[in-house]
């Protein structure tokens, strides 16, 4: 690397280490921020010489990145932003900290995909899904799909692993009708992981007509856009690869959605030449992802932490959670998005019949939604009170970003 980049990388590592030592955080952002101030091209310099996979989407990025990093690890050392710092500062910090590695698997915030594509020149990009998220500051789903499509057109050599079940993703990964045919379109491998949330993809992004559905199939009623045939699919508790071979997936992570994330990880690893039979063994080594799915024993309660940040992810969280007492915690701080009206897009009826506790900065907003949904609940002011209120045994905790971090900090303090 140029001398300036070497200095920036060294300072980045030092700043991150000091942040960790001072207890100010894991250093996954501050190191990259300082490094990029010294050398704005540091991410590009650190990416050079590595085979890189980028993982982007509204939901499932962090888990899929962790699984894909484990799968690609069959080949050698892998740099990854395992704490979920998914913007260029986080990528820079992760690559600087890892040093020289042949591979990198990076989670990318969907708004930054074009910028990170340009800087890292990846071997493969995985597109998971698109749904509404933090609309008080983020883009509408169709606008996000347009940004992805425009970015991919500029990088025809990148290989794409994309979700065949999401019309917005399929449209983004497909070349536009006026595409210059002298430029080859991206090579796309399609996977099917199941798409339970449909409420952000009823309108065709190409022509504005309605999207029709029947079983797993979907198609536009007004233009040729339709579900492509996936090469990777989920079947029961395993994954079928492009040859038709079925691979049993044994995960420590809960829920069918994580079998889908595993399918994506296997497809990404295959783009690097990793055989599914080798990669699938590594997936079972992942027990927790940045605290998500972690289980903690406290006062006779087995507490499991689940992160849910938008309507689509709450739907999946309900599927993962056991039929047990459940604590819901909602904040509306800057990382969460300040608008909580999305709560009315979540169907909380699966919680009926179990003990439901609510807390967080915006617990009263959640209370109104549960009341409308006819879900009985009890308000508790603190996490400690929630633990005392729940009977011994499993306590499921479902929280959005900062509420999740607050609860993790409380558990870390006590334990």
Find the CATH number of the domain harbouring 382: 3.90.190.20
Residue 191 lies in a domain: yes
pLDDT: which is higher, 297 or 181: 297
Residue 198 has, within 13 A of its CA and on its CB side, a CA count of 16
Looking at the structure, do residues 122 and 26 belong to the same domain, yes or no? yes
Positive or negative torsion for Cα 235, 159, 313, 87: positive
Band of pLDDT at residue 207, cut at 50, 70 and 90: very high
Looking at the structure, do residues 104 and 235 belong to the same domain, yes or no? yes
Q: Provide the pLDDT for residue 281.
A: 93
CA distance 181 to 160: 18
Instruction: Mark the binding-site residues for Zn(2+), compressed into ranges.
Output: 204, 207, 220, 223
Band of pLDDT at residue 344, cut at 50, 70 and 90: very high
In the chain, % of residues over pLDDT 70: 95
Which has the minimum average pLDDT: 60-74, 131-145, 304-318, 364-378? 131-145
Which residue, of 227, 252, 284, is where some domain finishes?
284
Band of pLDDT at residue 415, cut at 50, 70 and 90: very low
Looking at the structure, do residues 161 and 13 belong to the same domain, yes or no? yes
Instruction: Calculate the average pLDDT of the chain.
Output: 91
Contacts of residue 388, defined as CB under 8 A and 6 or more positions apart, other chains included, come to: 299
Looking at the structure, do residues 309 and 265 belong to the same domain, yes or no? no
Average pLDDT over residues 39-52: 94
pLDDT(249) > 80: yes
Residue 25 lies in a domain: yes
pLDDT(26) > 80: no
Q: Provide the pLDDT for residue 178.
A: 66
Place of tokens 């340009």: 118
Q: Provide the pLDDT for residue 259.
A: 94
Looking at the structure, do residues 374 and 230 belong to the same domain, yes or no? no
pLDDT(146) > 50: yes
- Among residues 180, 278, 339, 347, which one is catalytic? 339
State which H helix or E strand residue 295 sits in.
Answer: strand 295-298
Residue 306 lies in a domain: yes
pLDDT(282) > 80: yes
Question: Residue 179 pairs with which residues in a beta bridge?
Answer: none
Residue 362 lies in a domain: yes
Residue 360 lies in a domain: yes
- Answer whether 295's CB lies under 8 Å from 302's CB: yes
Q: Which two tokens stand for residue 93?
A: 């910090």
Contacts of residue 136, defined as CB under 8 A and 6 or more positions apart, other chains included, come to: 337, 338, 339
Q: Provide the pLDDT for residue 317.
A: 92
User: Would residue 339 show up in a list of annotated catalytic residues for this protein?
Assistant: yes
The count of domains in the chain is 2
Q: Provide the pLDDT for residue 351.
A: 95
pLDDT(296) > 50: yes
Q: Which two tokens stand for residue 205?
A: 């992004």
Residue 289 lies in a domain: no
Residue 73 lies in a domain: yes
Looking at the structure, do residues 181 and 247 belong to the same domain, yes or no? yes
Looking at the structure, do residues 276 and 316 belong to the same domain, yes or no? no
Looking at the structure, do residues 306 and 279 belong to the same domain, yes or no? no
- Answer whether 133's CB lies under 8 Å from 169's CB: no
Band of pLDDT at residue 180, cut at 50, 70 and 90: low
Q: Which domain holds residue 70?
A: 3-284
Tens digit of each residue's pLDDT (9 = 90 or more) over 228-245: 999 999 999 999 999 999
Q: Provide the pLDDT for residue 300.
A: 93
Looking at the structure, do residues 320 and 241 belong to the same domain, yes or no? no
CA distance 347 to 349: 6
Looking at the structure, do residues 50 and 186 belong to the same domain, yes or no? yes
CA distance 99 to 40: 18
Which residue, of 221, 254, 284, is where some domain finishes?
284
pLDDT(28) > 80: no
pLDDT: which is higher, 211 or 178: 211
Find the CATH number of the domain harbouring 58: 3.40.1190.10
Which residue, of 258, 284, 310, is where some domain finishes?
284
Band of pLDDT at residue 414, cut at 50, 70 and 90: low
In the chain, % of residues over pLDDT 90: 70
Tens digit of each residue's pLDDT (9 = 90 or more) over 317-336: 998 899 999 999 999 998 88
Average pLDDT over residues 376-385: 95
CA distance 200 to 130: 8
């Amino acid at each position: 690397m140029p001398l300036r980049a070497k200095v920036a990388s060294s300072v980045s590592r030092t700043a991150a280490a000091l942040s960790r030592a001072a207890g100010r955080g894991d250093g996954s952002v501050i190191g990259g921020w300082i490094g990029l101030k010294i050398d704005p091209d540091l991410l590009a310099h650190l990416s050079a010489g590595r085979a890189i996979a980028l993982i982007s989407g509204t939901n499932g990025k962090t888990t899929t990145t962790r699984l894909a990093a484990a799968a690609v690890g069959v080949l050698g050392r892998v740099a990854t932003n395992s704490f979920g710092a998914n913007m260029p500062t986080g990528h820079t910090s992760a690559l600087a900290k890892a040093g020289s590695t042949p591979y990198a698997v990076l989670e990318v915030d969907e708004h930054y995909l074009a910028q990170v594509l340009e800087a890292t020149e990846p071997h493969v990009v995985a597109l998971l899904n698109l749904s509404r998220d933090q609309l008080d500051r983020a883009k509408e789903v169709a606008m996000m799909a347009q940004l992805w499509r425009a970015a991919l057109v500029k990088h025809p050599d990148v290989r794409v692993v994309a979700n065949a079940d999401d019309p917005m993703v399929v449209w983004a990964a497909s070349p536009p009708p006026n595409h210059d045919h002298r430029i080859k379109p991206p090579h796309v491998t399609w996977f099917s992981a199941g798409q339970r949330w449909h409420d952000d993809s009823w309108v065709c992004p190409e022509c504005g007509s309605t999207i029709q559905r029947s079983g797993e199939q979907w198609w536009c009623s007004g233009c040729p856009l339709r579900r492509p045939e996936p090469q990777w699919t989920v079947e029961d508790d395993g994954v079928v690869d492009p040859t038709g071979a079925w691979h049993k997936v044994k995960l420590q992570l809960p829920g069918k959605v994580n079998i889908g994330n595993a399918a994506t990880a296997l497809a990404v690893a295959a783009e690097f030449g990793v055989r599914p039979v080798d990669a699938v063994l590594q997936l079972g080594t992942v027990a927790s992802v940045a605290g998500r799915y972690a289980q903690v024993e406290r006062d006779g309660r087995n507490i499991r932490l689940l992160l849910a940040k938008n309507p689509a992810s709450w739907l999946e969280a309900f599927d993962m959670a056991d039929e047990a007492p459940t604590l819901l915690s909602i904040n509306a701080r800057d990382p969460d998005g300040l608008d909580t009206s999305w709560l009315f897009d979540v169907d909380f009826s699966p919680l009926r019949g179990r003990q439901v506790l609510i807390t967080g900065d915006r617990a009263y907003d959640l209370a109104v939604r549960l009341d409308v949904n006819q879900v009985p609940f009890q308000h508790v002011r603190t996490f400690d009170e929630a633990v005392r209120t729940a009977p011994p045994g499993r306590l499921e905790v479902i929280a959005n970003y900062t509420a999740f971090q607050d609860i993790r900090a409380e558990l870390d303090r006590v334990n």
